[in-house]
Structure 1
């Protein structure tokens, strides 16, 4: 994996980011409006936002994407980091790219004074769960939500 570079997204990366974002949405069988996708992209670029993104690059091609959001916690003085979206190109899965993207979030969050990184995945995402159980703890909480 030494030939894979992870770096924050830049304005010039939209054409590389968009197919990964769309693949991520398809993986989770969801659709978002063009307006939401454009807003997400702008948030990733805006330094005043707490939303961040990075791409994994190999041989000039984006092969993975991660989005993460810093937020306050009532259980700590430091911020926490929510790893919201993560995808690796299908032909690169199992090669360590996902782990590199998560480790990038760990390093970036620590450098930005966060004391934890947390995320969710769907219970059917067995391949990802195998990785996550090797690099993080599984605290056992169950998510509940009500869409408004």
Structure 2
């Protein structure tokens, strides 16, 4: 019997989830990378048009979270779930929390008739890679992720060709 519970995040969890996001950034060697504020997270999860959802694990406090959003595949014609962040406090690891969060997301994907559940992991994070492989996840080694942000994003937007 697990010694923690899972539930959907509520507005009251905003500050604690944001603290876990900061802990994740430290773990991922990017301690100053988080620009998100509590009001931004609250709006993203609980605003008029939520952009994402979160599941939290708790006992007397939040122990971990999974933040996800809906994706879409033109190849399958179905939605998917994209796991943006999964984090369990170091002192709470080994209790099955990460697996329970992923199982919950997999069940949600099945309920929604999604084609897939996917995420990415840093290539140096061997413990996470081994954990994900143990659950049947397969790496997509042939795909390379690209990102445009900041000034490059603004410059690209200036190149917009009007349509319509």
Q: TM-score if structure 2 supplies the norm length?
A: 0.79
Q: Structure 1 segments of 4 or more deviating over 3 A? A: none
After superposition, the C-alpha distances for 1:61-81 in whole angstroms (9 at most, x for unaligned) are 110011111122111122011
RMSD: 1.9
Unaligned runs of 5+ in 2: 154-164
2:72 and 2:78 in contact (8 A); partners too: yes
Structure 2: distance between partners of 1:34 and 1:50: 14
- Residue 56 of structure 1: SS of its match in structure 2? strand
- The residue aligned with 1:86 is 86
How do 1:121-132 residues align onto structure 2 when only pairs under 5 Å count?
121-132=121-132
Q: TM-score if structure 1 supplies the norm length?
A: 0.87
Aligned residue pairs total 146
Unaligned runs of 5+ in 1: none
Pairwise CA distance, 1:138: 2.4
1:50 and 1:71 in contact (8 A); partners too: no
Query: Which has the higher relative contact order, 1 or 2, with Cα contacts under 8 A spaced 6 or more apart?
Result: 1
- The residue aligned with 2:158 is none
